[in-house]
Structure 1
Amino acid sequence: MLTKEKLKLYWKQFTESPRAKKFQSVFRKVLIVAIVSIIIYQLWDIGWTEVLNSLPTHPLFYILFFVLYLTLPTGEVFIYRQVWAVKRWESFKAFLTKRVYNEEVMGYSGEFYLFMWARKRVGKSEKEVLKNVRDNNILSAVSSNIVAVILIGLLIFTGIIEVGDIFGNVSLVYVFTGIVITIAFVALFIQFRKYIFALPLRKALIVFAIYLSRFIIHHGLLIVQWAVVIPDTPLSIWFLFIAIIIVVNRIPFIPSRDLVFMWAGIELSRALDMATASVAGMLLVSSAMKKSLNLILFLIFSHFNKSEDIEELRRGYEKSSHVKKKD
């Protein structure tokens, strides 16, 4: 008889098999090719000449790009200083490399790199380092989800999203029940936080505050950057774009999230009757610059660090695959 436990066992054996790993690699490549093909078709449909003529020319757009690129690793320097006593410049380079892995390789591969890097430098056991990385990821997810809920509330309040069209007539009983359940979950989270993450409450609140501040500043600057290219666009429209970014970033293990957002952003601009060529040009330049900068910084840090951490990361993947093949 096929039981739930047997299904779990079969699934685990399949996901850990060399065939599954090969399938995952092929699937990622096919997915990237498919997304790029769709974007090329979108740009062709708009008109390459129109897109090229609509590329951003305002210097502030490019200044903000570099500021935005640095906000994420800079924020992580202050965040991880709460748990690790490491030099700021050394950790900054590590967080830049982590970003490259997460954006260009696969989601959470950057966290694996950070763990490999930190376990030799922070003077803590591997278990403690792993807990620190896990705790920070939890707090990052919580902060972004809170902003997402607030953002959706603003979109509903401004009438961009019609609740009635989605849920129909919602009874106050359901609203009250939802509030009670939410409060109960928060209370349980606080009560059993030690089983969920290891950070003390005070330090966790500090880290959460930094994550939340970084999130708001980063996405606020992103709206300013877009507004430089397409002025006079209502703020509620840019909130919709931010909502898409949040959704895309929450999808696990997806490669090249900026390409997925570019695809979705172009389609959204058409639906909202915006200047599609300007949106496409803006997102195209941002994506190309981000990938180029990721590659350049990765090569620079790999050279000056003698690729020790990256080589160890590669050996870790190979060792893991080799052990699984033996099994």
Structure 2
Amino acid sequence: MSGIAVAVTAAQGHSDHAPRRLPTDPQWWAGALLSFAILIAVAAQLGGARLVQVARDAPVDPFFWSVFAAFYLLPSACDWIVFRRLWRLPVAGLAALMRKQVANELVFGYSGEAQFYLWARRHAKLATSPFGAVKDVAVLSAVAGNVVTLGLMIASSGLLARVVVGSLGQAFAISAGLIAASSLAMFLLRRRLFSLPTSELWAIFITHVLRIVGSMLLLGVLWHLLLPALPATGLLVLVTMRMMLSRLPFLPAKDVVFAGLVAILLGRDAQVVPAMAMLGGLVIAAHVAVALCSAAAGLMRKVQG
């Protein structure tokens, strides 16, 4: 063996036994802090959501679980389609997008975008920074949600007026105004706000609209399976209220909060309240499962590495 080969081998052997230093990359620490926040949120949900009781009360109908799986996976799948178009994102990126969804739901809105941006900086093979694309996709998602919500509020305005009255009705009216104003502001500032080409922006916007409409239809099917006696008008009001609640960006566990809002409006004895609470608990349980599996996979990679 040559002297160079011996030196290389010795250096490799020495490095294998050298103590590892803590990473100094700020992006690594930012990602670690966001992951830690997700785990804290998971621990809080495990302690407060009574997931065991939720699992005990959940239906056993396979069709229900098929629809629920489609409902839960649809947002991440549509995000993957978007970023696949932009970055040629591999299938492995779907796991990162699911973590983004969990962070947005369990921690606070747009924390998932921050985590996904850090993941893309470290793992996606991009020629430029992914910030512009992540920003544009998030903003267009908000715009699509606002447009669909306003359409639902107009379609169900007569029905909402019967349920939402008094100060709560005024709050809903103010919410509608804020949603419309924010959408108008994004439209007026579109030249400064967006960085992607117009054709890409339209494709992303249409994908988001289809995602939201598909999610609402699947949610309506789930509610119908849980509450077959609930009329279509009742489903429309519930979907509209949930979409309005979803426009609040910094509100975690929106499904559980939605169940509480339904209880306030209809009374805790209403048949719809436990069904809403149970479905919200199932969504949280799915988030917890994804977060725990993701944390376990990351720990295994570090141990093996």
TM-score, L = length of structure 2: 0.68
Structure 1 residues 287, 118: closer, same or farther in 2, change over 3 A? closer
CA-CA distance at 1:271 after TM superposition: 7.6
Aligned mate of 2:187, from 183, 186, 189: 189
Tell me, in whole angstroms, the C-alpha distance in 2 between the residues paired with 1:229 and 1:97: 28
Structure 1 residues 301, 245: closer, same or farther in 2, change over 3 A? farther
Percent identity over the alignment?
Answer: 23
Tell me, in whole angstroms, the C-alpha distance in 2 between the residues paired with 1:217 and 1:133: 22
Tell me, in whole angstroms, the C-alpha distance in 2 between the residues paired with 1:276 and 1:106: 24
**Any gaps of 5 or more consecutive residues in structure 2?**
1-36, 168-176
Aligned mate of 1:68, from 66, 71, 75: 71
Q: Is the 8 A contact 1:144 1:215 kept in 2?
A: yes
Q: Which residue does 2:219 correspond to in 1?
A: 222
**Any gaps of 5 or more consecutive residues in structure 1?**
1-24, 41-47, 168-177, 309-327
Tell me, in whole angstroms, the C-alpha distance in 1 between the residues paired with 2:71 and 2:303: 26
Aligned mate of 1:290, from 281, 286, 289: 286
Counterpart amino acid of residue 299 in structure 1 = A
Q: Is the 8 A contact 1:102 1:110 kept in 2?
A: yes
Q: Which residue does 1:154 correspond to in 2?
A: 155
Tell me, in whole angstroms, the C-alpha distance in 1 between the residues paired with 2:276 and 2:256: 13
Q: Is the 8 A contact 2:82 2:204 kept in 1?
A: yes
SS in structure 1 at match of 2:250: coil
Structure 1 residues 304, 204: closer, same or farther in 2, change over 3 A? farther
Tell me, in whole angstroms, the C-alpha distance in 1 between the residues paired with 2:150 and 2:269: 22
CA-CA distance at 1:253 after TM superposition: 2.6
TM-score, L = length of structure 1: 0.64
Counterpart amino acid of residue 205 in structure 1 = W
CA-CA distance at 1:230 after TM superposition: 0.7
Q: Which has the higher contact order (CA 8 A, sep 6+)?
A: 1
Structure 1 residues 277, 70: closer, same or farther in 2, change over 3 A? closer
Tell me, in whole angstroms, the C-alpha distance in 1 between the residues paired with 2:87 and 2:198: 17
CA-CA distance at 1:196 after TM superposition: 1.5
SS in structure 2 at match of 1:198: coil
Counterpart amino acid of residue 85 in structure 2 = Q
CA-CA distance at 1:234 after TM superposition: 1.5
CA-CA distance at 1:295 after TM superposition: 3.0
SS in structure 2 at match of 1:82: helix
Structure 1 residues 76, 52: closer, same or farther in 2, change over 3 A? closer
Counterpart amino acid of residue 161 in structure 2 = I
Q: Is the 8 A contact 1:262 1:280 kept in 2?
A: yes
Q: Is the 8 A contact 2:72 2:283 kept in 1?
A: no
Q: Which residue does 1:251 correspond to in 2?
A: 248
Aligned mate of 2:120, from 118, 121, 135: 118
CA-CA distance at 1:300 after TM superposition: 4.4
Q: Is the 8 A contact 1:54 1:281 kept in 2?
A: yes
Q: Does 1:102 align with 2:98?
A: no
CA-CA distance at 1:232 after TM superposition: 2.6
Q: Which residue does 1:142 correspond to in 2?
A: 143
Q: Is the 8 A contact 2:105 2:253 kept in 1?
A: yes
Question: How many positions carry a matched residue from both structures?
Answer: 248
Structure 1 residues 160, 113: closer, same or farther in 2, change over 3 A? closer
